[in-house]
Copies of this chain bind each other. A is one copy, B any other.
Amino acid sequence: MRNIVETTAATAFTPGVASLTDTMDQMGVRMTFARDEEIFAQGEEADLIYRLVSGSVRTTRLMHDGRRQIGEFHYMGEIFGIEANDEHRFSGEALTDCVVTVLRRSAFVALVRSHPDLERQFWSATAKALQRSQDHLLLIGRKTACEKVASFLIDMAERQKAELVSLPMGRQDMADYLGLTIETVSRMLTQLQSSRMVEFTDSRHFRIPSRQSLARFCQ
């Protein structure tokens, strides 16, 4: 454990109309993680809840033989590490250097119980996660390699306001998110680029000339 998490603030704090994330930031303890560092491990007790102040995180699940599935990428402001049971079913790993605020689950549950508004916000976040997971099922189960990569690029572009979109993850992470191999991801990217659907300035930055055109590749 890198840091002792203090929960003493919980009893003193009264949020009023504060947002869930603001409240977590005020009550939680700030921690930093370096790129590729593990934040929590698959199988570990899920007694902490995390909010991402800056940087990006991936949640991954590993099979015995090394096959890997990325459950979700999390970006600035998002909550992650929520579990229905008391055990983490995914590992959480820092995609880039990042800062998180950490809250004990028990403190979180107590807080949320006494502030129904926060509870609703929290439920909404969970339901959104479910939605994204279900959307992803269709992508992984039924889309072609090209459609998967195109959908991913559009999703990234929609999450970022900037015209030039940046990819915090490498090709292997993209592959493990989309249920493909690194080679196939690379091939589809060059294919999309030579069809003028995307323009990469370098391997981690791209822009989409016409969102609509690219969307046609996603079905």
Contacts and interface: CB of A to CB of B under 8 A. Distances in A.
A142 interface: yes
Contact of A89 (B90, B135, B219): B135
A173 to B, nearest CB: 13
A3 to B, nearest CB: 26
A93 B69 CA distance: 29
B142 A179 contact: yes
A159 interface: no
A96 B61 CA distance: 34
A16 interface: no
A142 B84 CA distance: 23
A162 B115 CA distance: 44
A37 to B, nearest CB: 22
B83 A138 contact: no
Given A116-B113, A142-B63, A179-B142, A133 B137 contact: yes
| A: contact size bracket | 35 or more
Contacts of A61: 134, 138
Nearest to A179: B141
Interface in A51-86: 61, 63-65, 67-69, 71, 82-85
B69 A141 contact: yes
A137 B137 contact: yes
Interface stretch (A7-15, A118-126, A190-198): A118-126
Interface string A80-103: 001111000110000000000000
A105 interface: no
Nearest to A147: B63
B131 A85 contact: yes
